[in-house]
Chains A and B, each alone.
Chain A
Amino acid sequence: MYKYDAIDRQLINERVAQFRDQVRRWKAGELADDEFRPLRLQNGLYIQRHAPMFRIAVPYGMLNSAQLRTLGHVAAKYDRGYGHFTTRHNLQLNWPKIEDVPEIMAELAEVEMHAIQTSGNCLRNITTDPFAGVAADEVIDPRPLAEILREWTTFHPEFAFLPRKFKIAISGTREDRAVTWFHDIGLHLKEQDGQVGFTVIVGGGLGRTPIRGQVVREFLPWQHILTYCEAILRVYNRAGRRDNAYKARIKILVQATGIEAFSQQVEDEWAYMKDGPATLTQAEFDRVAAHFTAPDYEKQDEVALPTEKAFTKWVDRNTHPHKVPGYAAVTLSLKQHGVAPGDITSAQMAAVADLADQYSFGELRISHEQNIILADVKKADLPAVWEKAKAAGLATPNIGLLTGMICCPGGDFCDLANAKSIPIANAIQARFDDLDYLFDIGEIDLNISGCMNACGHHHVGHIGVLGVDKNDSEFYQVTLGGRQGNDARLGKVIGPSFSADEMPDVVDKIIKVYLESRHADERFLDTFDRIGLDPFKNRVYEGRAHGKAKTAQKEAA
């Protein structure tokens, strides 16, 4: 993976010094709260419901074991011994002290980590596919270009105060696993006439106004990625709305302008920069790409793996095809039933770091589904990895299954949330605690967000759950049929929202409709696409008072 050189190290050290001084001036009253706020946000520091929240970047999801050990160490030393992995390659600490944050940053800098631009109205962390470099369906490894983009976004002087946050995702596989259709810029790497480049998608996003992105340029040779992004950002920085934060994302600008006119504006702007000094060179690509070469794989003989049911279930759900024979990628599930999805303790981080060192070349990745991936495990080592992962509580075989859900921190922690999300997740996990039943239900994405900001990506869940606030009470709106991938689309709302207590039953009814209606080879989504929303809706609202009847019921009570 990428190793810092002198400039990279110098810049993050200078960032620590800069923030230390900003905190000092804020404490001394030289910086007003409003003046300090964007500065702390651009260093990942929020002031939250109970305490500050500190968001650490894991650029394009890559970590080495030393970095994970340090994350575990800072979580233990400065927080309550755990952290939370988000859907955008970040680790969040929920209880640090503001005064400690410069020290945490300094400790992170020692292992080439930072919290730069993990929040605020600026260029955010670049995200990609957690199986980059090992996926069997990979066309091009996106990581060198992701690193080049990371450097370009870092302290960009013209785009530090955008109308709103700006997220870029990059994918290099046939099947998109980076949610590129729902990012401010989504980049699909591909080859065309022997040339490597991108399809550039712009103006996608989830949140309050979910919109699928549109293609702004069908093919852009890779050398032009920085100048082309500059052109998009300049158009957005100047023309994006600043009068209303809810209408300030680039998706709103693209919708208002129309994709063709927007595309023309970008092309006009780009014409001035195209082929300029920011055009990437082969030498720079090669320098960065040299950090992402394949590890020293060994030739593997066929091995006979144990046939124990628990193990084969885990292999079935938590391992993934690898392009090198004899190897597999392993997902360590952070979706143990009863634990907040995405949460990991310091002890678990240390255990995972050991696993990476022993079985996966000392490296690991974070997925947007909030799990950890050991990308290069010998198949012969799978039993040992399983035993150790199981001992650490990281082997729940539920990847891609109902309880392997995505979930934001929600109202237990987050100031923005309208409703709690973790208790809903835990209640559903408790209801569906039978592994055989989970396996029978099969592949299904359940995504839960505690508010319309959609950190839990509820819009693209096969079942999406959104926390809403009605008269100061927490309710949950359910959508069906959303999906990520090449055919990414938004789910449809099934009807009026539910109370927290009703949610396990609601999910249960939805699952029952699927089980009763499915053809032998159908996953949940296939059945949904065939039979549509109504059968689910009818079952869920069957016998439920609504409209006038509901009002009468309430009055009677």
Chain B
Amino acid sequence: MAQLIKNDTLAVDTWKTLELAEGETPESVALPAGDIIFPLAVWQARKTEIISCHKRIGLLIQPDELIEDVAGDLEYFIVIAVNFPKFVDGRGYSTASLLRQRYRYEGELRAVGDVLHDQLFFMRRVGFDSYALKDGKNAVYALETGFNSFSDTYQTSTNQPQPYFRRRA
């Protein structure tokens, strides 16, 4: 089980992610009850159905999926989980930047998958606010030091829209 870091503390994860078993398709998979994070393909195939039976909806987006494709649906989501199948696949950072900066998504933005201590600082900068730290990693130490590797930054990003050069005294 991944360890969820949220609001600067270890949190209990109330969400379940719908996974398609072999042979199941987005069109045919049974939609479970509860707080569910739906893969993008399931959301696209079953949107009306999901809205009719779920009040709280989550979305899972993979590195090769484009957030533009659901940009009109963002108001439905309480949480959007961006998957990092391998931590060296950096596409999720752009997905997060777009969600926050271009589409003004304000719900929970969660990094899931191969989420490690040494990427937390960058993840927060692009707009993630919850982190499913990989199983077996020291979550307490990550909380203590992973988010404050650097005291300031040069570039613009989600959590600091002004570049350092505009903030110089």
Q: Do A22 and B118 touch (CB < 8 A)?
A: yes
Residues of B within 8 A of A15 (CB): 150
Q: Do B138 and A14 touch (CB < 8 A)?
A: no
Q: Do A277 and B156 touch (CB < 8 A)?
A: yes
Interface residues as binary, B82-113 with A (CB distance below 8 Å gives 1, 0 otherwise): 00000111110110010001100000000000
A431 to B125, CA, bound (A): 57
Name the distance in Å between B29's Cβ and chain A's nearest Cβ: 27
From the candidates B90, B102, B162, name the one contacting A277 in the complex (CB within 8 A): B162
* B34 touches A (CB below 8 Å): no
Assess A160 versus B93: contact at CB under 8 Å? Given A121-B88, A277-B163, A281-B166. Answer: yes
Name the distance in Å between B90's Cβ and chain A's nearest Cβ: 3
Q: Do A155 and B90 touch (CB < 8 A)?
A: no
Residues of A within 8 A of B101 (CB): 272
Q: Which residue of A lies closest to B124 (CB)?
A: A157
Residues of A within 8 A of B90 (CB): 158-162, 237
Interface residues as binary, A12-34 with B (CB distance below 8 Å gives 1, 0 otherwise): 00110010011001000011000
Interface residues as binary, B115-146 with A (CB distance below 8 Å gives 1, 0 otherwise): 01111011101100000000001100000010
* A39 touches B (CB below 8 Å): yes
Q: Which residue of B lies closest to A42 (CB)?
A: B118
Q: Do B163 and A278 touch (CB < 8 A)?
A: yes
Q: Do A158 and B164 touch (CB < 8 A)?
A: no
A31 to B134, CA, bound (A): 12
Q: Do A237 and B162 touch (CB < 8 A)?
A: no
Name the distance in Å between B150's Cβ and chain A's nearest Cβ: 5
From the candidates B91, B155, B161, name the one contacting A156 in the complex (CB within 8 A): B155
* A151 touches B (CB below 8 Å): yes
Q: Do B155 and A161 touch (CB < 8 A)?
A: no
From the candidates A11, A21, A25, A162, name the one contacting B152 in the complex (CB within 8 A): A11
* A38 touches B (CB below 8 Å): yes
Interface residues as binary, A232-259 with B (CB distance below 8 Å gives 1, 0 otherwise): 0010011000100000000000000000
* A154 touches B (CB below 8 Å): yes
* B151 touches A (CB below 8 Å): yes
A22 to B117, CA, bound (A): 10
Name the distance in Å between B76's Cβ and chain A's nearest Cβ: 23
From the candidates A237, A277, A278, name the one contacting B93 in the complex (CB within 8 A): A237
Q: Do A10 and B151 touch (CB < 8 A)?
A: yes
Name the distance in Å between B124's Cβ and chain A's nearest Cβ: 8
Q: Which residue of A lies closest to B125 (CB)?
A: A157
Q: Do A11 and B145 touch (CB < 8 A)?
A: no
Residues of B within 8 A of A35 (CB): 87, 116, 118
Q: Do A7 and B126 touch (CB < 8 A)?
A: no
Q: Do B150 and A155 touch (CB < 8 A)?
A: yes
Name the distance in Å between A122's Cβ and chain B's nearest Cβ: 9
Residues of A within 8 A of B91 (CB): 237-238, 242
A11 to B125, CA, bound (A): 16
Q: Do B152 and A10 touch (CB < 8 A)?
A: yes
Name the distance in Å between A271's Cβ and chain B's nearest Cβ: 11
Residues of B within 8 A of A234 (CB): 94, 97
Q: Do B118 and A39 touch (CB < 8 A)?
A: yes
* A338 touches B (CB below 8 Å): no
* B3 touches A (CB below 8 Å): no
Q: Do B157 and A158 touch (CB < 8 A)?
A: yes
Q: Do B88 and A237 touch (CB < 8 A)?
A: no
Residues of A within 8 A of B156 (CB): 276-278
Name the distance in Å between A145's Cβ and chain B's nearest Cβ: 13
From the candidates A161, A162, A276, A277, name the one contacting B87 in the complex (CB within 8 A): A161
* A284 touches B (CB below 8 Å): yes
A226 to B156, CA, bound (A): 10
From the candidates A18, A38, A158, name the one contacting B126 in the complex (CB within 8 A): A158
Q: Which residue of A lies closest to B89 (CB)?
A: A242
Residues of B within 8 A of A242 (CB): 63, 89, 91
Q: Which residue of B lies closest to A122 (CB)?
A: B90
Q: Do B126 and A157 touch (CB < 8 A)?
A: yes
Name the distance in Å between B45's Cβ and chain A's nearest Cβ: 24
* A152 touches B (CB below 8 Å): yes
Residues of A within 8 A of B123 (CB): 157
Residues of A within 8 A of B151 (CB): 10-11, 14
* B154 touches A (CB below 8 Å): yes
Assess A154 versus B154: contact at CB under 8 Å? Given A22-B118, A159-B90, A160-B93. Answer: yes
A31 to B119, CA, bound (A): 13
Assess A278 versus B150: contact at CB under 8 Å? Given A22-B118, A38-B88. Answer: no
Q: Which residue of B lies closest to A237 (CB)?
A: B94
A155 to B118, CA, bound (A): 12
Interface residues as binary, A337-351 with B (CB distance below 8 Å gives 1, 0 otherwise): 000000000000000
Assess A161 versus B145: contact at CB under 8 Å? Given A276-B156, A281-B166. Answer: no
Q: Do B93 and A158 touch (CB < 8 A)?
A: yes
Residues of A within 8 A of B102 (CB): 272
Offer 18 A-B interface pairs, CB within 8 angstroms, sorted by A: A11-B151, A14-B150, A15-B150, A30-B137, A35-B87, A35-B116, A38-B87, A151-B164, A152-B155, A155-B155, A156-B155, A157-B155, A161-B119, A237-B90, A237-B93, A242-B63, A278-B155, A287-B165
Given contacts A35-B118, A284-B168, 19 further A-B contacts (CB under 8 A): A7-B164, A11-B152, A15-B150, A30-B137, A31-B118, A38-B87, A152-B154, A157-B125, A157-B126, A158-B157, A159-B90, A159-B93, A161-B119, A226-B163, A237-B90, A272-B102, A277-B163, A277-B166, A283-B165
Chain B interface residues (CB < 8 Å from chain A): 63, 66, 87-91, 93-94, 97, 101-102, 116-119, 121-123, 125-126, 137-138, 145, 149-157, 161-166, 168
Q: Which 4 pairs between the two chains have the least Cβ-Cβ distance?
A: A161-B90, A157-B125, A284-B165, A157-B122
